[in-house]
Structures are given as C-alpha cells and as structure tokens.
A = this chain, B = another copy of it.
C-alpha cells in the first residue's frame, strides 16, 4: 500500500471530528499495523472498492464514542446503545466519504458502515495487505485510524 493513500483519511478524520463533534484531534504516531498498536473497544469499519479495494477502520475508546454521540445527538449517552453505534457508523462513513472524494483517481465507492464491539476484538487484513495505522489523541481520549488498500483485481469466483 502506498503511504500517500493515508493522508486524505487523516485529513478527513481531523476535519470530521472538528466539524461534526467539535473535537480537536491530534495525530500522535503513524505505524505499520502490528500487535503492539493499542486497540479500542469500538471500531467502525467500511469497505472501499473501485480501482483499489480496501477497508477503513475507525477505532474509538468507549469514552470517545460516548462523547461523540452525545455531541452529535445533543443528548447524554452513557452506554453503547443503538444510537451510539449509529453515530460511530456515521462518523466512519463521513471519514471514508470525504477521503474518497480526494482520491478520485481511484474511483472508490464505499459500502455500509458496520460497527464492531467486544473487548479484545481484532480486525485482520489479508496477509498480503499492509494496513497503515495512525494514532490520535483528543480531549476525550484516544482513537485510531487504520487503512488497508490493495490493487483491485477481478475476484477468481467471478472471472
């Protein structure tokens, strides 16, 4: 995966959190994904397809998820109910949507956001894809963004 793919997603995450939930986020570290990367409780996942195929994962601590949902929905949320899950999905959708617009040369389309919960969940990429993980901090806690993209090819099953 080319490193320049990641920048539109980083920019999009900073903008989305700044404008949608009034939360300033700062990039702290960029790494190729490995097991030492801190994991958070809630992950929004969205698929990308087009001239490249891949996945965006927006991973939030519970506190960041609850505060984000409370701000977006103008109500106090204290547990991970359907509204909070939808808010995390919508933030993921906005991050992917804005980045896609900047990567127009890849003609990307985005799928539906899913939200993964469960302490200790892991989201694995195919071993031939090296996702890039960017860590952020905010006034509410930590979050991370992971993007893995590969060249598109015709799947064997439909060739």
List residues of A whose CB falls within 8 A of some B CB.
12, 16, 45-50, 53-55, 57, 82-83, 85-86, 89, 93-94, 96-98, 100-101, 109-127, 129, 148-150, 155-158
State whether B127 touches A86 (Cβ < 8 A).
Answer: yes
* Given A94-B156, A100-B158, A54 contacting B112 (CB threshold 8 A): yes
State whether A121 touches B117 (Cβ < 8 A).
Answer: yes
State whether B114 touches A55 (Cβ < 8 A).
Answer: yes
State whether B116 touches A122 (Cβ < 8 A).
Answer: yes
Of the A-B pairs whose beta carbons lie under 8 Å apart in the complex, a sample of 24, sorted by A's number, is A12-B157, A46-B47, A47-B48, A47-B110, A48-B111, A49-B49, A49-B109, A53-B112, A54-B112, A83-B127, A85-B127, A89-B124, A93-B157, A94-B155, A97-B158, A98-B158, A101-B157, A112-B149, A114-B124, A116-B123, A117-B121, A118-B119, A118-B121, A119-B120
Taking CB atoms, residues of chain B closer than 8 Å to A124 are 85, 89, 114-117
